[in-house]
Amino acid sequence: MSKAAELAALIGSQTSLSNRNLIINGAMQVDQRNATTTANGYTVDRFLIVKSNFDELVIAVTQDTDNPSGNGFSNSLKVAVTTAESAQASDEVMYLETKLEGQNVQQLAYGTSNAKSVTLSFWVKSPVAGKHSILFYQPTGPRSNLQSYTVSSANTWEYKTITIDGDTSGNIANDNTEEFNVFWTLSAGTDFTGTPHTGWGAYSGTDDFAHSDSVNIAAQTGNFFLTGVQLELGEQATPFEHRSFGDELAGCQRYYCQIVGGGQGSGANKNIANGSFYTSSYVQGILQLPVTMRANPSLVHTTGSNYYGMIGGYAVHTFNNFILDAFSHKNAVSIYNSGSVSGTQGDGGFLYGNNASAALGFDAEL
């Protein structure tokens, strides 16, 4: 389709030319944690790796600069299999996942006769050619729609699109909870494969998570890359919506916000918050968060001998870790030291990272 025809189709369908992409950080630009994940957790923001029950498999999941050259992408998510699983047990499973809030996908109109089709597009570079599984999932129900895509050539960037019908029987709550997920299944034992239903239907974990004839990324060493992920209304993929780094960062900070360390670099001598001596033994600081978080966040930080400190009362006071105060909420948090220091009640100052390994953030992930 020509660009003119593409534009006419978008205008005719009244589909917005901006904010089309329901996926946050689909170009894998934002990596606040800047960490290598070897088990379960987030690396690149908004994309979760899960590795369960493997005996031998060793992976390293990171942000990477390998990309489909000439298509406007600088980064990708990389799943490196450094030690393969020699024989897959029935309960072993590994996948990438991104989760969407219910209030961000109300335009799908699921559960009504006007339920909308959506199209997922992405760039992938897989170490294994052949059939790969991808699952669309609604936790409420739960309900699922298992699809597949085929990699024609191993270790080669390829562009994939998948269109699915709307779910007239779905139920997506209009709130801040997890209501729509996309899974890229990388390895699945027989506990997760069977005879899946066609299209949307009630989810059965033993049938609907992956196709039984999908490739097994865990069976050999190699690298799986993903970038350019876009989910949009309609039955046709449009060009990837490149958003500014600042816009993507703000979207990610609703779910996780790194203050020092991680992607911010060394945590040594980095300001955290203004503070004061609440008592002669405890210092407290208040942070106004850059965006409203999805829910009241939890504190995530590294701990160690004198990792943090407060400069106040013409002295330096160091301690090992923080505690999140109960008054904290989605817009602002307060933290205080665990373990006593010695100062003058009421003296002001500032809290800071006192060690290169100091890292502090706030988590409100789905």
> Mean per-residue pLDDT for 11-15?
47
Least confident stretch, 9-18, 87-96, 186-195, 337-346: 9-18
Least confident stretch, 16-25, 39-48, 278-287: 16-25
CATH number at 56 reads 2.60.120.260
Tell me which residue range forms the domain holding 116: 3-243
User: With contact defined as beta carbons under 8 Å apart, do 123 and 68 qualify?
Assistant: yes
pLDDT of residue 3: 54
> Mean per-residue pLDDT for 45-50?
98
Q: Is residue 59 situated within a structural domain?
A: yes
Residues 309, 186, single domain; the answer is no
**Per-residue pLDDT reduced to its tens digit, 264-292:** 999 999 999 999 999 999 999 999 999 99
Helices (H), the chain: 3-12, 245-253
Q: Is residue 251 situated within a structural domain?
A: no
Over the chain, what is the mean pLDDT? 95
Q: Which two tokens stand for residue 97?
A: 């996942």
Residue 142 reports pLDDT greater than 50:
yes
Least confident stretch, 90-94, 131-135, 333-337, 339-343: 339-343
The pTM is what?
0.94
Alpha-carbon span 150 to 168, nearest angstrom? 28
Residues 228, 321, single domain; the answer is no
Residues 66, 186, single domain; the answer is yes
| Percent of the chain topping pLDDT 90 | 94
**Per-residue pLDDT reduced to its tens digit, 232-252:** 999 999 999 999 999 999 999
Q: Is residue 177 situated within a structural domain?
A: yes
Residues 234, 270, single domain; the answer is no
User: Domain boundary residue among 243, 267, 287?
Assistant: 243
User: Domain boundary residue among 243, 277, 296?
Assistant: 243
Residues 36, 156, single domain; the answer is yes
User: Domain boundary residue among 243, 267, 288?
Assistant: 243
Number of domains making up the chain: 2
**Per-residue pLDDT reduced to its tens digit, 286-329:** 999 999 999 999 999 999 999 999 999 899 999 999 999 999 99
Residues 196, 273, single domain; the answer is no
335 has which bridge partners?
285, 324
pLDDT of residue 4: 56
**Per-residue pLDDT reduced to its tens digit, 211-235:** 999 999 999 999 999 999 999 999 9
Which residue has better confidence, 18 or 331?
331
Residues 231, 274, single domain; the answer is no
Residues 237, 289, single domain; the answer is no
Q: Is residue 250 situated within a structural domain?
A: no
pLDDT of residue 1: 46
Residue 40 reports pLDDT greater than 90:
yes
Nearest to 204 by CA among 212, 213, 196: 196
pLDDT of residue 155: 98
Tokens 């895509």 locate to: 149
Which residue has better confidence, 135 or 16?
135
Residues 330, 187, single domain; the answer is no
pLDDT of residue 14: 45
| Percent of the chain topping pLDDT 70 | 96
H or E stretch at 12: helix 3-12
Q: Is residue 188 situated within a structural domain?
A: yes
Q: Is residue 310 situated within a structural domain?
A: yes
pLDDT tier, 2 (very low <50, low <70, confident <90, very high otherwise):
low
Helices (H), 178-320: 245-253
Residues 191, 299, single domain; the answer is no
Name the region of 8 (left: φ>0; alpha: ψ -120 to 50; beta: rest): alpha
pLDDT of residue 13: 45
Residues 197, 266, single domain; the answer is no
Q: Is residue 190 situated within a structural domain?
A: yes
Q: Is residue 249 situated within a structural domain?
A: no
Backbone φ, ψ for residue 96 (5° rounding): -100, 150
User: With contact defined as beta carbons under 8 Å apart, do 167 and 140 qualify?
Assistant: no
**Per-residue pLDDT reduced to its tens digit, 325-354:** 999 999 999 999 998 899 999 999 999 999
pLDDT of residue 10: 52
Residues 234, 92, single domain; the answer is yes
Q: Which two tokens stand for residue 37?
A: 């994940």
pLDDT tier, 134 (very low <50, low <70, confident <90, very high otherwise):
very high
